[in-house]
Amino acid sequence: MNKPSNQVSWDTQQSNELYGVDNWANDFFSISENGHLHVHLHDEDQKTAVSLPDIVDGIRERGLDTPLLLRFHDLLADRIRNLNIAFNSAITQSGYQGCYRGVYPIKVNQQQQVIEEITQFGELYHYGLEAGSKPELLAALAYMHDPDAYIICNGYKDQEFIDLALQSTKMGLQIILVIEMPSELNLILERSVALGVRPMLGVRAKLSTCNNSHWSHSSGENSVFGLTTNQILNTVDTLRDHGMLNTLRLLHYHQGSQVPDIQSIRESATEASRIYTDLIHEGATMGLLDIGGGLGIDYDGSRSDSHSSRNYGIQEYAADIVEVVKTVCDEAQFNHPTIISESGRAVAAYYSVLIFNILDVNSPSADSIPNRIPEKPHPHTMKLSEVEGYLEEANLQECYNDAIYYREEILSLFRHGNVSLRERAYCNSLFTRIMTRIHEIADTMEQAPEALAEGNPFRDVYYGNFSLFQSLPDSWAINQLFPVMPIHRLNEEPTARATLADITCDCDGRIDQFIIKGEHQDHLPLHPLNDHENYFLGVFLVGAYQETLGDLHNLLGDTNVVSVGVKNGKVQYRRELAGDTIADVLSYVEYDTKNLVERFRSLAERSVEEGKITPSQRRQIMDSYRESIAGYTYYESPNT
């Protein structure tokens, strides 16, 4: 609901605290004095704060409308750099004798631009790639040519997959085939002999250690992929029998994505290190320990062990891993292995920001109460009206109870035909006004009645020009929380209490859980819309998974994408990828757009023959049909 705004008493620091920017932004975003949200990008050897609203205006002036996905390659580079700095610092401080090599799991965001930039930025650190399928391996082989970086091959592998990996090994690439199922080993050995290539092999272990993340089912002994301890030993024996035990170089384990608790990470690393040293005891060459993914992102800024956060930072994560591996290997008197991590979410999440405009607002407070009470009102209607008259703090609970009671009675009367639609509408508006006033009073009380603790249930619905299912599927599928906030007007008090709805015709296309002042809330503070002025919201940390998991709900396709940098203090729009047209998405679901035009033309021509429209009207209708097919799948502003 909208509250009176006091512009003088509101400043950008209050907006910063309200939306928790300092908690989740990782120093990549900040609020300027004029109320704009800024992104911090590299301009030669220094960082420059660039206004997101100015970026959006520049893109729209160039002809691309919202919704927009902004990609910031500088943030991707920073995450790779920070991850390597953290591990290298931990290695130096602890006296660890091995080194660190990161690999990026392509599945986290398979977009070509992402893979190209990761291989470019990561070259300094010999940063590799992880491929979990044949298409991902083909992409990795095209972009990863660093002989000192690793390409880790996970997932199900057929003969063609294995042959590609082995042939590329012959060309000097460090490709490791990770055995995740017992049946893979014989095929790998067979193809190695046929191609005359000695492979680099790894085994994926099913650890007993689990965690409490959304993806805990992918860890532990009941996970789908990986080998049990018996299967690992059988693999060792088979390799020994074939004289190939020295090809076993790597132990891999995976805890699942977004592990919130550092203790689970330590326990898994300890168990895996024990398996690693025992494999050396068995005669395997080893040398590489792949700790998989799991490094979390603090989506909600709480730095806790909630599913949308993590109770550790990158430096603590790296230090704990290095300490555990060093301790176990020192006890066994073995050399320290190269530590490999497959941190995808932690690398890619900050990279992308979804920007969309608000199209409309549906506010319960906009339901005006009729000037006069309906003729011959039911006594319960009169009673509800009286509640508003005697409402005050001293009897707040009583008024709340009475309002609930009389509204339910009126609804029952309507269902039985004893109250008209107009009288029901009058009572609904009156009830909304009473409940709003009750919650406004409760907000000022030191100890409000328990029934009012959850706040006002009446929320404004802000309709955003986006598809939740296309751009934020994790929000719908697993209730993932993402930072959401306006990108401008942050020097004004946001007086509306809102939920967000997308433009799909699906009731699930909504966001109604947010992090406000570090707490989970069922509303997002937003500003009332101004006439003839766009209002833009940003959703942050969407670079991991959201681009690749999206679907075509209501045939709403990919958004426009723009890659942004800065040079000499000026914004550079380095890449522009137009979003899907209606023709594109129709072709995805097997429509032939030429056939669609012809079928519609037949309908229009028949209408001319029947005298329903004129030939010139037919031409206008056909032009509109063709123009629509070539247009953006989202709401298009009249001036774009």
- As annotated, the active-site residues are 505
**496 DSSP assignment:** E
Q: Please state, in angstroms and rounded to a whole number, the distance separating the CA atoms of residues 273 and 544.
A: 28
Q: Please state, in angstroms and rounded to a whole number, the distance separating the CA atoms of residues 276 and 346.
A: 25
The tokens for 351 are: 């990279």
The tokens for 241 are: 């029998």
Buried b (16+ CB within 10 A) or exposed e, 45-73: eebbbbbbbebbebbbeeebbbbbbbbbb
Of 4, 14, 16, which Cα lies nearest the Cα of 495? 4
Please say whether the beta carbons of 535 and 358 come within 8 A: yes
Q: Please state, in angstroms and rounded to a whole number, the distance separating the CA atoms of residues 120 and 106.
A: 15
Please say whether the beta carbons of 555 and 589 come within 8 A: yes
- Rounded to the nearest 10 degrees, the angle between the axes of helix 593-609 and helix 615-629 is 160
Q: Please state, in angstroms and rounded to a whole number, the distance separating the CA atoms of residues 521 and 244.
A: 57
Q: Please state, in angstroms and rounded to a whole number, the distance separating the CA atoms of residues 593 and 573.
A: 32
Q: Is 256 exposed, middle or buried (0-12, 13-18, 19+ CB in 10 A)?
A: buried
User: In 10 A of CB 6, how many CB atoms?
Assistant: 10
Of 295, 290, 289, 292, which Cα lies nearest the Cα of 329? 289
Q: What share of the chain is helix, strand, coil (3-state, %, to 5)?
A: 45, 20, 40
**569 DSSP assignment:** T
Q: Please state, in angstroms and rounded to a whole number, the distance separating the CA atoms of residues 97 and 524.
A: 49
What type of residue sits at position 168? Answer: S
Q: Is 500 helix (H, G, I), strand (E, B) or coil?
A: strand
Please say whether the beta carbons of 540 and 346 come within 8 A: no
Q: Please state, in angstroms and rounded to a whole number, the distance separating the CA atoms of residues 222 and 217.
A: 7
Q: Please state, in angstroms and rounded to a whole number, the distance separating the CA atoms of residues 149 and 126.
A: 5
Q: Which residues are registered as beta bridge partners of 561?
A: 69, 577
Whether the bond between 199 and the residue before it is cis, its omega within 30 degrees of 0, is: no
Q: Please state, in angstroms and rounded to a whole number, the distance separating the CA atoms of residues 29 and 47.
A: 12
* Alpha carbon distances (Å) from 366 to 363, 417, 429, 443: 5, 27, 9, 21
Q: Which DSSP string do the residues of 504-536 spell out, in sequence order?
A: SS-TT-EE--EEETTEEES-EEEPPPPTT---E
Instruction: Name, in order, each residue with C-beta under 8 angstroms of 519's C-beta and a sequence gap of 6 or more.
Output: none
Q: Please state, in angstroms and rounded to a whole number, the distance separating the CA atoms of residues 457 and 291.
A: 45
User: In 10 A of CB 163, how many CB atoms?
Assistant: 15
